[in-house]
């Protein structure tokens, strides 16, 4: 049996030569791969091996001997403890290059396709971009903590300021903490499923400035809720909606199904481009509104609609992309498995006076073949699947219909690459690949891909 070149709990010095999938540094010792979270390409570092597998190991960063030219001091004082961001220690231009290469590597390695990937489209100011924050509430000894979970744990890291959230969230967080302390509100304990207050959710509409605050409780009881409402109203003029959400389940899912409006409206209103959207507590809405507009306009550009096309929008969610497509299409058919999302999509279409969009509840891989069987064919298909990517049966159904173009919106380069390989085998060619940085300071990346039918 061959002896591995590293041992657990031993220290080593290593040159970081590349970056891993989640933004960790990658180096080698005797051709054996070591992943080092917190390290950056071109650094020489000292590490402690914390986990060893047959083909690779993980090292903990002990000391940076020679820092990379790409390193930057994180703006957040708790960055190394909080699990919210992964690459804030990297200069922003390098973050964009990392994401471009991540998409490129996935398409080449998994998709076995040799295609140029455009540089990731970034933000002018890559901070304070999120319009929604969901914060677990807990206790550490006798202190109230509200914040984010530490990396790979359910330990809550208390925050006072988050640099990727809107500034108003910091103020709401502090007011909520003081209310909890003053009225001794019971805090939820996930180990024994006791206590009341579980989460604080804040949603900010960037175009209108409207604010929604949601308190999530374990059960219907919410003591001193009037005091909470009055304190918020007195201190935050932007608030338009204060909601009580009930989640009594033993689950990691944050929101329950039942919402009660404590004050104001049941929703807040925001815009993406010229389109208006009413956002309720349970509504899906992209968290980075500035980059969402860029993303959707890129979808519209790749679709290149002339006004006579029929378009299928698979995994349409609340219909946001469908509305953008409706501007230039003859007809748009949106498909989504979540019934509540389709209800929102129909309302969104009505709110924006869109007459040429129709929505269906069901699995895209079932509904689209049904539409085809009724003689409804698409000239262009847009897919925006969840992280697991598209079902093979959906891709096969689309290929059978032979639309001229497919526009694929992806949140995971790995499953995107897998699906591009399948589509290539189904006579579709990948033409353009454009990553968009929806989540600066994190390792996540969205990608828009134009795929064209190979003419026989």
Count the alpha carbons within 13 Å of 30 in the hemisphere toward its beta carbon: 9
Q: Provide the phi-psi class of 443: left if phi over 0, else alpha when psi is between -120 and 50, else beta.
A: alpha
Identify the DSSP state of 151.
T
Q: Both ends of the chain: CA-CA distance in Å?
A: 54
Report the distance separating Cα 117 and Cα 366, nearest Å: 32
CB-facing half-sphere around the CA of 381: CA atoms within 13 A: 32
Please give the angle made by the CA atoms of 318, 322 and 325, to the nearest 5 degrees: 160
Catalytic residue, chosen from 85, 162, 259, 411, is 411
Rounded to whole angstroms, the Cα distance separating 442 from 425 reads 33
Query: Which sign does the torsion angle of CA 396, 401, 402, 403 carry?
Result: negative
Burial class (CB within 10 angstroms; exposed 0-12, middle 13-18, buried 19+) of 243: buried
Exposed/middle/buried for 7, CB within 10 Å: 0-12, 13-18, 19+? exposed
Beta-sheet strand order (sheet of 211-217): 156-158, 143-149, 132-140, 197-204, 211-217, 239-246, 258-264
Give SS3 for 346.
Answer: helix
DSSP for residue 413: H
In our burial notation (b when 16+ CB lie closer than 10 A, e otherwise), range 312-334 reads: bbbbbbbbbbbbbbbebbebbbb
Q: How far is CA 216 from the centre of its chain?
A: 21
Q: Contact at 8 Å (CB) between 205 and 225?
A: no
- Quick check: is 76 catalytic? no
Chain position carrying tokens 């049996």 = 1
User: What is the DSSP secondary-structure string of 190-251?
Assistant: TTTTB-SEEEEEEEE-TTT--EEEEEEESSS--TTHHHHHHHHHHH-TTEEEEEEEE--SSS
Contact assessment for residue 389 and residue 419, using Cβ atoms and an 8 Å cutoff: yes
In DSSP terms, 52 is beta-bridged to 57
Give the active site residues: 411
């Amino acid at each position: 049996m061959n002896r591995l070149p590293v041992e657990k709990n031993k220290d080593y010095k290593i040159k970081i030569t590349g970056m891993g999938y989640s933004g960790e540094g990658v180096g080698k010792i005797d051709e054996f791969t070591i992943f080092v979270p917190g390290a950056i390409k071109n650094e020489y570092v000292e590490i402690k091996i914390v986990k060893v597998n047959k083909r690779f190991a993980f090292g903990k960063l002990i000391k940076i001997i020679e820092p990379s030219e790409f390193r930057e001091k994180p703006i957040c004082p708790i960055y190394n403890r909080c699990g919210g961001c992964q690459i804030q220690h990297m200069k922003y231009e390098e973050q964009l290059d990392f994401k471009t290469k991540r998409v490129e590597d996935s398409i080449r390695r998994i998709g076995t396709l040799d295609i140029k990937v455009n540089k990731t489209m970034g933000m002018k100011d890559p901070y304070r971009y999120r319009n929604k924050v969901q914060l677990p509430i807990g206790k550490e000894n006798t202190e109230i903590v509200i914040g984010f979970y530490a990396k790979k744990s359910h330990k809550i890291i208390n925050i006072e300021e988050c640099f990727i959230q809107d500034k108003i969230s910091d103020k709401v967080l502090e007011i909520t903490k003081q209310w909890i302390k003053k009225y001794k509100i019971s805090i939820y304990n996930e180990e024994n499923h006791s206590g009341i207050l579980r989460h604080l959710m804040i949603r900010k509409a960037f175009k209108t400035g409207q604010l929604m605050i949601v308190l999530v409780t374990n059960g219907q009881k919410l003591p001193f809720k009037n005091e909470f409402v009055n304190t918020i109203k007195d201190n935050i003029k932007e608030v338009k909606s204060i909601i009580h959400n009930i989640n009594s389940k033993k689950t990691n899912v944050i929101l329950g199904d039942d919402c009660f409006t404590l004050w104001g409206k049941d929703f807040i209103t925001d815009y993406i481009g010229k389109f208006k959207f009413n956002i309720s507590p349970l509504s899906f809405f992209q968290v980075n509104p500035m980059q969402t507009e860029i993303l959707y306009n890129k979808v519209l550009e790749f679709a290149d609609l002339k006004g006579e096309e029929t378009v299928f929008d698979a995994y349409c969610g609340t219909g946001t992309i469908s509305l953008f497509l409706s501007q230039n299409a003859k007809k748009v058919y949106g498909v989504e498995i979540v019934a509540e999302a389709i209800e929102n999509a129909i309302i969104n279409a009505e709110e924006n006076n869109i007459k040429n969009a129709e929505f269906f509840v069901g699995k895209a891989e079932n509904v689209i073949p049904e539409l085809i069987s009724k003689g409804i064919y698409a000239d262009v298909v847009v897919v925006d699947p969840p992280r697991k990517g598209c079902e093979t049966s959906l891709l096969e159904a689309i290929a059978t219909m032979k639309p001229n173009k497919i526009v694929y919106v992806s949140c995971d380069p790995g499953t995107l690459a897998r699906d591009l390989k399948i589509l290539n085998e189904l006579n579709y060619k990948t033409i353009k690949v454009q990553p968009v940085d929806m989540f600066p300071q994190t390792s996540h990346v969205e990608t828009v891909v134009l795929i064209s039918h190979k003419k026989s």
